[in-house]
Amino acid sequence: KVIDQAIHRAPILEDAEINRGWGGLYAITPDDNPIIGSLPGAEGFFCAIGFSGHGFQQAPTVGRILSELILDGATDFDLSPFAHDRFDRVTGRAETRVV
C-alpha cells in the first residue's frame, strides 16, 4: 500500500528497486523527552538517550552540550528538563507524539 501511494505521487518510482533496508531502536522515555547529562554513581559517564525519534534533529546541539560537560564540567544550557531523576520528582512535560 505504501509503495502504491508513493508511485501515485511520484510515478518515476515505479521502476525503482529496494536494494536494502535499515532498522533501528526507537528509544523513548515516559515524557518523550531525552535524558541528557551525567549519572550519579557513574563518574565520567555522560548520556544522551531517549530522544523519541528526534535524536538526529537535535544531535548538533546535544553534541555541543556533551562536549562542554566533558571538557569544561558545565554548560550554559539548562538541563533540568532532561535530568534522569525528573521521573522521581514529578511527571515531565509530555510532548505530543509527532513521529
Domain-wise residue ranges, the chain: 23-99
One-letter identity of residue 6: A
User: What DSSP designation does 44 have?
Assistant: T
38 forms beta bridges with: 46
Can you read off the three cell numbers belonging to residue 32? Answer: 518523550
At residue 67, what are phi and psi to the nearest 5 degrees? -65, -40
Grid coordinates of 60: 548538533
pTM of the predicted structure, to 2 decimals: 0.66
Q: What is the pLDDT along the chain (99 residues), one digit of tens a residue?
A: 888 999 999 999 999 988 998 888 888 898 889 999 998 899 999 999 999 888 889 999 999 999 999 999 999 999 999 999 998 866 556 666 666
Backbone angles phi, psi at 35, to 5 degrees: -110, 120
